[in-house]
Structure 1
């Protein structure tokens, strides 16, 4: 899955408090977007733009890889969860649009022990069935070991 990382600057012009927003940089991740890779990319982009000292706050989603990536930058700024992303999670989970395969305790234990790079395991992308996949799979119902998951809220709900 291709993922995008966008750095947007929000700033005021003059004393009129005229808020401006500008896309400063964007890039894609064609490989797994782990916290170390995100942090390295962000650090390079901030250095290239020469804006590290101008950052007041960072807005991102609540995934653990983004939280760790921002924390690893040592910017000493406030991290704010994106309200639009949280609203999106609420709607998609409310309608059951993202379904996550339920792992047994044995599978979770073996996944945790397979971690060789020293970073905490994030939920694998292939575990998430997006609405298109779900609609196109006629054999699969919502039951059968599936649960709805909202990582930012840390909640699981068994599908009926």
Structure 2
């Protein structure tokens, strides 16, 4: 099973074909130029995520280790979500009764999303989890797991 890891903190090890480590890199924000859709379909004008795109779309699963920042994903992770648009077509489908970008690829990885941080209350945690679920639903990911980091269990059982 091919795995990619996107991490914002250390402390968990996973055998991964590719790791995007936010402690070592910052994702540029999307400029909304549409280059990824019209000029170079499927490729962002910025070249900083080309390896990630390839590894992500060919992975069976993607594991995110996300920090909670003021009750939300970090700005770096939000920028990554915005910059994942090249993985979808610029066309809109209403097949589900709502508007969604059309898939560019046949399959997208399963998602394991682990978060580290505190919430003011249960409603704040639910808003966070609902947002993350919604992102990956819109990204056409079929199996989505969202849990606090304390519930992470590695392949070795640790």
TM-score band, normalised by shorter chain? under 0.3
Higher relative contact order, structure no. (Cα contacts within 8 Å, ≥ 6 residues apart): 2
Question: What TM-score does the superposition give when structure 2 sets the normalisation length?
Answer: 0.27
Structure in which a larger fraction of residues adopt helix = 1
Q: Which has the larger radius of gyration?
A: 1
